[in-house]
């Protein structure tokens, strides 16, 4: 169920953020409008959020798969996205989006931690068989 919830949260966020990217670039609307309006660098924002959406689809589609492989994948996704937020934190500051950055980064940290716990649980030997 964790992978399903993770995928739904990541997918919803990716979809909304990709919409903001398009609105900012084409219509000067949304939280990053100032940065994205007419700016070809909007491509990177849109690609990143679109890839998050695609990763979410994969997590949802594979949430019932046995083993910890998809939990490892989900952990890696959140490590990358949350790490990128921290590495480029000045972007949140420059566009007065620190509260959004805190929520997003905390969400990535939460899912990273939960997925690593799930990896441990799913990788541990089954003690019932003894």
What is the Cα–Cα distance from 9 to 119, expressed in whole angstroms? 19
* % residues pLDDT > 70 (the chain): 96
> Domain limits of the chain?
2-129
Res 10 pLDDT > 70: yes
Tokens (6 digits) for 19: 């919409």
Please indicate, yes or no, whether the overall pTM of this predicted structure exceeds 0.85.
yes
């Amino acid at each position: 169920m964790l992978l399903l919830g993770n995928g739904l949260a990541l997918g919803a966020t990716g979809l909304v953020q990709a919409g903001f990217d398009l609105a900012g670039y084409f219509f000067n609307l949304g939280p990053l409008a100032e940065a994205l309006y007419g700016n070809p660098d909007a491509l990177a924002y849109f690609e990143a959020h679109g890839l998050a959406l695609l990763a979410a689809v994969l997590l949802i589609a594979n949430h019932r798969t046995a083993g910890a492989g998809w939990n490892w994948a989900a952990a890696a996704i959140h490590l990358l996205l949350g790490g990128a937020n921290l590495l480029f934190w000045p972007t949140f500051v420059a566009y007065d989006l620190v509260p959004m950055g805190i929520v997003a980064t905390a969400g990535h940290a939460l899912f990273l931690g939960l997925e690593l716990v799930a990896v441990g649980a799913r990788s541990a030997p089954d003690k019932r068989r003894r």
